[in-house]
Amino acid sequence: MKAFCISDNIDTQIGLRLAGIEGVVLREREDILNQLNACIQDEEIAIVLMTTRIVNTCPDIIFNMKLTSHKPLLVEIPDRHGSAKVGETIDRYISEAIGLKL
């Protein structure tokens, strides 16, 4: 099993590449969705790391994939260009999944 990174900037992709994680740098919504679908189809990929900006390009689709697909694990990571409100994102996912506001 391996991890794969979908990033919007080269710095994150290079940093993860140095740690042994392959990845791509994409900026267009259609390219991102195509790569995400390819990752889901690839049996070798267990974790897909995505920068916050990537997730923000198509949050509805990624959120739905997180809820419905069992593999791979989709993980949002902050990049060096700013802080991500990952805690708020997790709260929103839980609230929508269970139907209660936290």
> Would you say the pTM of this structure is higher than 0.85?
no
Domain boundaries, the chain: 2-98
Phi-psi region of 82 (alpha: psi -120 to 50; beta: other; left: phi over 0): left
Token pair 């919007």 in the structure block, residue: 8
**What CATH number has the domain spanning 2-98?**
3.40.50.10580
pLDDT tens per residue, the chain (102 residues)? 899 999 999 999 998 999 999 999 999 999 999 999 999 999 999 999 999 899 999 999 998 988 888 889 999 988 766 555 656 666 776 777 777 665
Query: Phi and psi at residue 25, in whole multiples of 5°?
Result: -110, 120
* Cα(38)–Cα(68) distance, integer angstroms: 16
The per-residue pLDDT for 93 is 64
